[in-house]
Chains A and B, each alone.
Chain A
Amino acid sequence: MTISQFLVLGALLFSIGIYGVLVRRNAVLVLLSVELMLTAVNINLVAFGSYISDTLRSGQVFALFVITVAAAEVGIGLAIVVLVFRNRSSANVDELDLLRW
């Protein structure tokens, strides 16, 4: 196994996630696409950690931290989406123009 195959897969997953973030209107689906991008980052981190094979296991440790922060992000993000839906009765990101000047 070479490192470049993992890097290309990570780049592909990341760009699919970017496409989802740009094209989806529902906020929950935007968050799902963000999870795809974070998974791509995790694949790159673990592949690099396996490539440099240090005794500190820094790639895997950072992947664990990314997973934890992503779980926190999903909790807060979905709470915000639920609150916005309760106030505006819509979860579409392009209808939220309260901050437009």
Chain B
Amino acid sequence: MDWGASVSWMRDWISNADNVVFLVISLVIVAAAIRVVSSPNVVHAALMLVLALAGAAGLFLMLGAEFVAWTLVLVYIGAVIVLFLFGIMITRAPTGRDPVRLDHARRWPAAVVALGTFVTIATVTTMAFGDRPVEAAVSRSGELGDVLFSRYVIPFEAVSFVLLAALIGGIVIARKDPDR
């Protein structure tokens, strides 16, 4: 692709309102995700995860996955982040100790591994699927509910069983042992 065609392709891409919204949301997501893995404050990292997940919910709304978006908001932002904040509160080192460092000293090998993963995945998926269009936002939550309770009812029940097992397992693991 020569330079002029590339410029005109980018002008076409940015003149679409959906693409502008996507660009803004994805910039917010990436910035928040970088803060999650680099923030020296543990609570700030958890709150930045809220921002990244809210951006992901916005992308799901753009793609017409309304039910998934609001499930993400309810389950993650409503419940999982509260669980993380409780975990941070419980496992924070007691005051009076030396402040422990949150990161390893060797960051460059991790950065190289992450960069290699990104280049591999992005190259392979982009080469395989190219610029095929995706369907714009048409929300059909009713159809999703129908198919969830007809075609996917056995996986649905299995997942609910997994949730029940995780609930009981969490209680059993985190409980104080009464024998000691």
* Contact, CB under 8 Å: A15 / B114: yes
Return the 8 tightest CB-CB contacts between A and B, nearest first: A20-B37, A72-B166, A22-B110, A15-B118, A19-B114, A11-B121, A79-B174, A2-B131
* Contact, CB under 8 Å: A2 / B83: no
| CB-CB contacts below 8 Å: B62-96 with A | 62-65, 67-68, 71-72, 75-76, 79-80, 83-84, 86-88, 90-91, 93
| CB-CB contacts below 8 Å: B130-167 with A | 130-136, 140, 143-144, 147-148, 151-152, 155, 159-160, 162-163, 165-167
* Contact, CB under 8 Å: B64 / A50: yes
* Contact, CB under 8 Å: B122 / A2: no
B residues lining the A interface (CB < 8 Å):
16, 18-19, 22, 26, 29-30, 33-34, 36-37, 42, 45-46, 49, 52-53, 56, 59-60, 62-65, 67-68, 71-72, 75-76, 79-80, 83-84, 86-88, 90-91, 93, 100-104, 107, 109-111, 113-115, 117-118, 121-122, 125-126, 129-136, 140, 143-144, 147-148, 151-152, 155, 159-160, 162-163, 165-167, 169-171, 173-174
Q: How close is B87's CB to chain A, nearest CB, in angstroms?
A: 4
A80 to B134, CA, bound (A): 41
**Within the complex, which residue of B26, B37, B56, B147 is in contact with A42, where a contact is CB–CB below 8 Å?**
B56
* Contact, CB under 8 Å: A83 / B37: no
Cβ–Cβ < 8 Å partners of A22 in chain B:
104, 109-110, 113-114
Q: How close is A35's CB to chain B, nearest CB, in angstroms?
A: 6
Report how many residues on chain A are interfacial, defined by Cβ distance under 8 Å.
72
* Contact, CB under 8 Å: B36 / A32: yes
**Within the complex, which residue of B67, B118, B126, B167 is in contact with A75, where a contact is CB–CB below 8 Å?**
B167
**Within the complex, which residue of B80, B101, B107, B152 is in contact with A61, where a contact is CB–CB below 8 Å?**
B152
Count CB-based A-B contacts (< 8 Å).
253
| CB-CB contacts below 8 Å: A36-57 with B | 36, 39, 42-43, 46-47, 49-51, 53, 55-57
A34 to B30, CA, bound (A): 15
Cβ–Cβ < 8 Å partners of A25 in chain B:
100-104
Tell me the interface secondary structure of chain A in the complex.
helix
* Contact, CB under 8 Å: B84 / A78: yes
* Contact, CB under 8 Å: B133 / A3: yes
> Interface readout for A1-23 with B: 1 if CB under 8 Å, 0 if not?
11111111111111111111011
**Within the complex, which residue of A3, A6, A74 is in contact with B59, where a contact is CB–CB below 8 Å?**
A6
Given contacts A28-B84, A72-B162, A85-B91, contact A46 B60 (CB under 8 A): yes
Given A12-B30, A19-B113, A26-B100, 6 extra CB contacts under 8 A: A4-B126, A6-B63, A8-B125, A25-B101, A75-B170, A83-B173
